[in-house]
Amino acid sequence: MSTAIAIRDAKVRFGHTQALDGVSLDVAGRDCFGLVGESGSGKTTLMRTILGLEKLSSGSIALFDTPLGKGGIRQRSRLVQAIFQDPAASLSPRRRIGQLLDEVGEVLGETREEIRARQRGLFQRLGLPTATLDKYPYQVSGGQARRVAVARALLMRPRILIADEPTAGLDVSVQGDLLNLLQELRGDNDLTLVVVSHNLAVVRLIADAAAVMHRGKIVEQGPAAQVFDAPAADYTRRLLASWPRLRAARA
């Protein structure tokens, strides 16, 4: 099994803050990898660095053994895509959804017919009416915007999909929809999934492996069963212990 993401000693500095302080990790291909931590832990910076939105101060990142230069978003766009925390805000407001998705065809060098056919197929798969293509982002519901964002990411045929706080802002009664969708996507495609989240309980259930970040460093890394159920690091233990439990009431 190949290594989807290999990070060695990554460091990122913003002014006076060391956002990433020597991070090294491996994400195995076709795994679901959980990147957890509290706010300010550096998980969002790490995600942005993998996507190419931030530059490394030092260290290296390789996707499927292709080392990436310090910049180079273009290289990465075929390999890794993302769905962001606020899906509606991730859609350009003054363009129609169909136009936004056609851009994928431009970037991939596909003809109009090819990309449109794939759009229709994906929309059907995701339960989106084709009429959505003619709408502007502000005209669709939050749930539909989320699916459009997923569609756009998948149209790029990435090998790695990063989900940034997929459950943030979602009620417990609806988050299952998105989570089950992510599980399905893993099943169908040759996809490596990275979930960046502060929601330990959810990540525990969908991740094969995970890393816990704190203050720009990785404090724990390994198979999910170990990280969440038998953690070695003190910080991880404290983090898990502070998570409220339902069982306490049932006792």
In the block, residue with structure tokens 């995701």? 126
* Selection from 202, 106, 194, 91 nearest residue 147 by Cα: 91
Of the pair 24, 217, the CB lying nearest other proteins is at 217
Min separation Cβ 25 and other proteins, Å: 18
Q: Which of residues 115-144 bind other proteins (CB under 8 A)?
A: 136, 138-142, 144
**Which of 1, 241 has the CB closer to other proteins?**
241
Site for other proteins in 21-80 (CB under 8 A): 32, 38-39, 48, 51-53, 73-74, 76-78, 80
A 10 A CB-CB count for 77 gives: 16
Residue from the set 15, 93, 111, 190 that interacts with other proteins by CB under 8 A: 93
Complex with other proteins: residue 65 or 74, whichever CB lies closer: 74
Q: Count other Cβ atoms within 10 Å, centred on residue 227.
A: 25
CA 53 to chain CA centroid, Å, is: 14
Which listed residue (16, 109, 113, 248) binds other proteins by CB under 8 A? 248
- Single out the residue of 35, 63, 115, 145 in contact with other proteins (rule: CB under 8 A): 145
Q: How far is CA 11 from the centre of its chain?
A: 20
Site for other proteins in 147-206 (CB under 8 A): 149, 152, 156, 171-177, 179-180, 183, 186-187, 198-202, 204-206
How many helices and strands (H and E) does the chain possess?
A: 10, 10
Determine, following the binding rule CB under 8 A, whether residue 110 of this chain makes contact with other proteins: no
Shortest approach of other proteins to residue 70 CB, angstroms?
15
Strand intervals (E) in the chain: 3-14, 17-28, 32-37, 58-63, 66-67, 80-83, 160-164, 192-197, 209-214, 217-223
CA 206, CA 225: separation in Å to the nearest integer? 11
Q: Which range touches other proteins (CB under 8 A), out of 12-20, 58-66, 88-96, 116-124?
A: 88-96
Span of 8-16, 20-28, 118-126, 145-153 interacting with other proteins by CB under 8 A: 145-153
Say which amino acid occupies 58. Answer: S
- Residues from 214 through 243 that contact other proteins (CB under 8 A): 224-225, 228-229, 238-243
- In sign, the C-alpha dihedral spanning 77, 193, 83, 86 is negative
Judged by CB under 8 A, which of 55, 58, 67, 89 binds other proteins? 89
